[in-house]
Chain A
Amino acid sequence: MRRLCVFWVLLSATVFVSAPAPAQETLKIGAPQPMTGPDAPFGDKFKKAYGMAVEEINAKGGVNGKKIEVIIEDHQAKNQLAATVAEKLITQTKVLVLTGGRASGQAVEIASVAQRLKTPYVVDHPSADIVTAKGFEWVFRDNPTGSIYPQAFNKFISEVPGAMPKSAAVVYDNTVFGKTIANSAMTFLKSKNVPIVNDEAYAVNSLDFKPVMTKVKANSPDFLLLVAVATTDAILLTRHAKEIGVAPRAFVGFGGGFGVEDFAKELGPLSQNVFSSAAWSGNPNDPAVKEFYKKFQTKYGIFPKEHEVEGYSIVYIIADAMRRAHLTGNVEADREAIRQALLKTDMTTVFGKVKFGNWAGPLGDKYTNQNIYSPEHSVLAQWLDGKLLNVWPKANAETGYVFPDPTSKR
């Protein structure tokens, strides 16, 4: 009995601790993010990015005199849980707008909930095409879709003399993210008559990639294209490819795990010269963007990349829509007013220009409320001495590219 009592005391203590403090009238933005579990580092990136934007906006008087607030709920990188916390944010916390999500699988769930409960969901990072290709009028997206990720890579191989692959091996995870990007990359390569010598889908968190790399090595591909939503997979894929001795002219990843700092931190010299074609982090040659990078680094001591830039920008996009919407205090009417305002969004953030529209993607998906400037927001970057630097297109390049890979055996 005493044990039971202790248990209850502990349980109720945690409930009290996690209950949100009563706030005065703020404009609430809900953000389901992975704050624990394998994707927790990403949740933390967005938390910092949102925090900085909210602080700045509120310091300047907020939105029409009211302060804004981003409420993060943990979905532990679990798709079902993402739906649950999205519903909780809408029905119990009564947020006006949703953002966040982190990965495509979770964003798909959140989008369905947002559409059903008539709450705008402004996507900042999840990239699977399907999120804005379902005809959901409540879902908006600032960042480029997965099928746009390879566009910078496509430009690179088309524009750089001799860079067109003679053959390519493609290894990707069987998530929405992995399949979309691999499909987009392969469609382009096939249109250029590049033979795809390996087309391999694997399950996320495969512990051992040596078998698949053994298979790839047997075909000695000219290019090795890798897609991994999980950083752990991106690290092991690269490590095992090099262990087995796959030596193509270029290792090319497409965002996800290939675009985060841990990739280089954990792989060390093995990350050298690996490419990543993905969403950009704003134009690094734009003074306003440079200033943001500096500001962010001073505040948090980390250099902002894609995730931080996206998270920071999305708060400004939402605040802009709230400012233009005629808010009455009636949650349902306000959500509709914000949706109407988002349809008329036309602004520039550190992530680049944004205007939501309906158009068709590279694979023919019919997008609804997808940023029309997205095709310009893809960039090819390369890991050079532990830093991911933009190398193509030239207008956004930070440095020259290293190609072919000096370790290549072709």
Chain B
Amino acid sequence: METFIQSVVSGVLTGSLYAMIGVGLTVVFGVMRIINLAHGDLVMLGMYGAFWGLTLWRLDPFVSILLWVPLLFLGGMLIYRFLLKAIIPGGELNTLLYTAGLSLLIANLALFVWSGDYRTIKLPYALSPMRPFGIAVPVPLALAFGLAILITAGLSLFLARTDLGRAIRATSQNPEAAALMGVNVDRISMVTFGLGSALAGAAGVLLAPSLYLYPTVGEILIVKCFVIVVLGGLGSVVGAISGGVLLGVVESLGAVYVSVAYKDTIGFALFMLVLLFRPSGLFGVGKS
């Protein structure tokens, strides 16, 4: 029983971080119909932010997140304004290839500047986990879990209650209609891309203390990210969250009760089953 509870707890904790990465991707897709292949690399930038914050200024990652999120928000908006905007009329395939190129550019610039060394973040309080009822809960993961919930809750409120949030949802549902109602679709797209980048960065900062980082770590993350987002339904925030947690739990249980060797196989099998019976994902909006 302890084994079961432990694996569910680990799965939920890891899944919440998966969800954080997925949410940013799905928001961008929902509004702009851009599949952002550079998303994993933005996560990587967040991870390096956490690392340098700690190494250079002794800033705890859970504090320096307050610095990196706005910075990546700004960075995302600039990427949209100067790099993406011109290519969007070219269609979905073009933006896909373009973001793939962007991903290579960011990863290789990082390789050039920070070298291929892998690094880890060492926090003194992260050495031994909390053990409520004998269940191991790593401290940085628990903190990240809490912050991930706060951030996604904040995002949901923002999308549901604010004018800007409503404008984003309206654009996501139908850009032409939104434009006719006076929404500045171009500006909304820019904000959304910034938002997606900020979420990626936040996920990176939160992930960094539990993982290791090197410039091409985005490659591993982006694959997981796509499974989550498609599982939950492209464009759906609730979908990305539940997809992330579901994948985390299924992988964890699969590794314990079947075999670690099949961990990814089980994840992908679930993915294919969901797509077979619900082609638009668990919470899909029903169109691509």
A41 touches B261 (CB 8 A): no
8 Å CB contact of A232 from B10, B111, B212, B260: B212
B83 lies within 8 A of chain A by Cβ: no
A40 touches B122 (CB 8 A): no
Cα distance A212–B254 in the bound complex, in angstroms: 10
Q: Who on chain B is nearest to A203 by CB?
A: B264
B116 touches A245 (CB 8 A): no
In the bound complex, residues from chain B placing their C-beta under 8 Å from that of A215 are 3, 7, 255-256, 260
Given known contacts A36-B111, A245-B131, is B220 in contact with A207 (CB within 8 Å)? Answer: yes
In the bound complex, residues from chain B placing their C-beta under 8 Å from that of A212 are 255-256, 260
Q: Who on chain A is nearest to B212 by CB?
A: A232
Cα distance A188–B141 in the bound complex, in angstroms: 38
A327 lies within 8 A of chain B by Cβ: no
Q: Who on chain A is nearest to B120 by CB?
A: A266
B105 lies within 8 A of chain A by Cβ: no
* Chain A window 206-245, contacts with chain B (Cβ cutoff 8 Å), 1 for yes, 0 for no: 1110111011011000000000000110011000001111
Interface of A is mostly: helix
A270 lies within 8 A of chain B by Cβ: yes
A268 lies within 8 A of chain B by Cβ: yes
B-side interface residues, number (CB < 8 Å)? 38
Residues of chain A in range 318-341 having any CB-CB distance to chain B below 8 Å: none
8 Å CB contact of B14 from A40, A174, A208, A231: A208
Interface residues on A, range: 35 or more
B10 touches A201 (CB 8 A): no
A37 lies within 8 A of chain B by Cβ: yes
A406 lies within 8 A of chain B by Cβ: no
A202 lies within 8 A of chain B by Cβ: yes
A306 to chain B, nearest CB (A): 19
In the bound complex, residues from chain A placing their C-beta under 8 Å from that of B131 are 245
* Chain B window 1-32, contacts with chain A (Cβ cutoff 8 Å), 1 for yes, 0 for no: 01100110011001000000000000000000
Given known contacts A208-B251, A211-B10, is B118 in contact with A262 (CB within 8 Å)? Answer: yes
B96 to chain A, nearest CB (A): 21
Q: Who on chain A is nearest to B221 by CB?
A: A207
A211 touches B136 (CB 8 A): no
B73 lies within 8 A of chain A by Cβ: no
Q: Who on chain B is nearest to A199 by CB?
A: B259
B252 touches A210 (CB 8 A): yes
A201 touches B127 (CB 8 A): no
In the bound complex, residues from chain B placing their C-beta under 8 Å from that of A398 are none
A243 touches B3 (CB 8 A): no
Cα distance A215–B14 in the bound complex, in angstroms: 17
8 Å CB contact of A211 from B129, B211, B214, B251: B251
A205 lies within 8 A of chain B by Cβ: yes
8 Å CB contact of A218 from B3, B138, B253: B3
B7 touches A211 (CB 8 A): yes
Given known contacts A202-B260, A211-B11, A218-B3, is B136 in contact with A244 (CB within 8 Å)? Answer: yes
B263 touches A217 (CB 8 A): no
Cα distance A174–B261 in the bound complex, in angstroms: 8
8 A-B pairs within 8 Å (CB atoms) are namely A203-B264, A208-B10, A210-B14, A211-B10, A214-B6, A243-B129, A244-B6, A245-B131
Residues of B at under 8 Å CB distance from A?
2-3, 6-7, 10-11, 14, 111, 115-120, 122, 127-129, 131, 136, 138, 211-212, 214, 216, 220, 224, 251-256, 259-261, 263-264
